[in-house]
Structure 1
Amino acid sequence: MGELFSILSNFLFVQNAIIAGLLSSIACGISGTFVVVKRISYLSGGIAHAIVGGLGIAYFLGVNPLYGALAFAFVSALLIGTVKLKMKQNEDTLISALWSVGMSIGLIFAYLTPGYNVNLLSYLFGNILLVSNESLWLMFSLDILITAIIFIFYKQFIYVCFDEEYSYLRGIKVEFIYILLLIIISLTIVVLVQSVGLILVIALLTLPSSIARMFSTTIWKMIVISIILIQVFTFSGFVFSFTADLPSGPSIILAAGVGYLISFFVNNFLRKKKLT
């Protein structure tokens, strides 16, 4: 353990990775809470995989991959929101199509890129140890933006997440709030995917918030617990990856998965104990 703290204090890339974990906990903790409450985990996974298409096209055109990912994420969010709210159709089929077609487009354009030196699979798993200072500032800006939006529209988000019909009766602009929620999720995915990878983003959006929901009575408590859990899982994943000489991203996901299983059984035990 002493050697680990020595590395933390002497190597800047490790410090940046820890900071990235702390910053991502805020965005994922807030967004993930509403993903779990609204039960749109599959939707967030669909957007996450659809942006691969934007990444591939951006590489082919020689522009910043972030722009391509943002474009695909926003288009996906608008399509899903329109199908659900305007056409009153189940969005599962559209999400599956965006998921598969987006990844296919990304791989095709990556193949067509001169030199074919683009490894889009690196975006699936990422490498949090390679996070740059620019990415850290981008994460910080994302945290400020999401926190401000949730603070301003908190009540509207609560109503829309729990009861859309009642929200209409109260005069809330359900379409606007729902699309805004999808945009927040999209921004979180796009900003973090370059640093931590798609798989870790999806895990951090769902597992900690699912655990928090088991032991929370309010949305704010759920958000706070989610943020703390992400930080715990990130640090414990780092420790495990260091001691076992394993990749950091999968180690963090494993820590979150173990945490979810433990919480699931503990929650069931406590519920049965109350009944008896």
Structure 2
Amino acid sequence: MTIVDILLDPFAYAFMTRALWATLIASIVCALLSCWLVLIGWSLMGDAVSHAVLPGVVLAYIVGVPFAIGAVIFGFLAVALIGAVRDGGRVKEDAAIGIVFTTLFALGLVLISVTPSQTDLNHIIFGNLLGVSTSDLVQIAILGAIVATLLLLKRRDFTLYAFDRTHAFAIGLSPRLLGAALLALLALTAVTALQVVGIVLVVAMLIIPGATARLLTDRFGRMLVIAPAISAICGVVGLYISYYQDTSPGGMVVLVQGITFFGVYLFSPTHGIITKRRKHRESATLDALSTG
């Protein structure tokens, strides 16, 4: 089998072609948003919202409306509940986040277990990348386009919100509104990635690409290019490995992202742990030679 055969063989099947497009769209959109989540320090909030949308998605299925509607409603509900519990006085924010998102996630599991359906709703939890239909792909593409367009159009405002909310307020922007907009986009992005990796692993796609790019550059503009590029490459590589090794495609996509992060964490030219130690040893050697 030649290299060309290896590259083209998986896409002789229509379901693999749809899986590839779904992976690319979700990877790029999640990576774009992850740049802001990493800068703001919303990693745990991303975990909370991505899990908290589960009951909204299930209820949307029951009612027969688009998943995005239920996801956004429960995303905002989760944020409101976290704020209410935190502002009560004795519960810190991290505890409030943990309580709210686990409770809402459990509610989603219960709803799945009692909802009569001809469709296996467990794919919402674990993803069903190889089962992406044409209509699913259209929904993923539409949601992905909406999120990416809004992020890029408002990137300056969101970036100012991430770095200096006081300055954003001083020039007439509303930090509260910008934060709410990011949370809404977070809920939509979670729905975009549902079919690819499921609720459980969505947070990985929302955090790993941005964290990886942050280790490779100190400029935010470059992060917005590096993170989607890395995420897309990891998505394609993970899909190929899952096809030839017969593994979970969504899990493999996230695993490749995680391995890439640790590789960058160790060997990044500027911030890599091993790179820093090597430069330190070289510097110490040069100092010893110069003083000797």
TM over 0.5: yes
1:270 aligns with: 275
For residues 83 and 163 of structure 1, what CA distance do their matches in structure 2 show? 26
2:288 aligns with: none
For residues 129 and 211 of structure 2, what CA distance do their matches in structure 1 show? 23
CA RMSD of aligned residues (A): 2.7
2:76 aligns with: 74
2:51 aligns with: 49
Offset, 1:145: 2.0
Output one character per residue of 1:138-160: Cα deviation in whole Å (capped at 9) or x when no partner: 23223332233223322221121
Output one character per residue of 1:47-76: Cα deviation in whole Å (capped at 9) or x when no partner: 1111222234345x4534714333212322
Output one character per residue of 1:67-93: Cα deviation in whole Å (capped at 9) or x when no partner: 4333212322455578889x9x95323
1:1-276 matches, within 5 Å, as 1-59=3-61, 61-64=62-65, 66=67, 67-80=69-82, 91-114=93-116, 119-266=120-267, 267-275=272-280, 276=283
Query: Rg bigger for which structure?
Result: 2
Q: Structure 1 163/127 Cα, relative in aligned 2: closer, same or farther at 3 Å?
A: same
Task: Tell whether the 8 Å contact from 2:54 to 2:199 is kept in structure 1 after alignment.
Answer: no
Identity %: 25
Task: Tell whether the 8 Å contact from 2:208 to 2:257 is kept in structure 1 after alignment.
Answer: yes
Offset, 1:203: 1.4
Output one character per residue of 1:157-180: Cα deviation in whole Å (capped at 9) or x when no partner: 112111223333333211011111
2:290 aligns with: none
Q: List alignment gaps of at least 5 residues for structure 1.
A: none
Q: Structure 1 119/132 Cα, relative in aligned 2: closer, same or farther at 3 Å?
A: closer
Offset, 1:239: 2.0
Residue 192 of structure 1 aligns to which amino acid in structure 2? Answer: A
For residues 131 and 17 of structure 2, what CA distance do their matches in structure 1 show? 11
Task: Tell whether the 8 Å contact from 1:70 to 1:190 is kept in structure 2 after alignment.
Answer: no
Offset, 1:118: 6.8
For residues 231 and 153 of structure 1, what CA distance do their matches in structure 2 show? 23
Q: What SS does the corresponding residue of 1:105 show, helix, strand or coil?
A: helix
Count of residue pairs brought into register by the alignment = 272
Q: Structure 1 81/189 Cα, relative in aligned 2: closer, same or farther at 3 Å?
A: farther
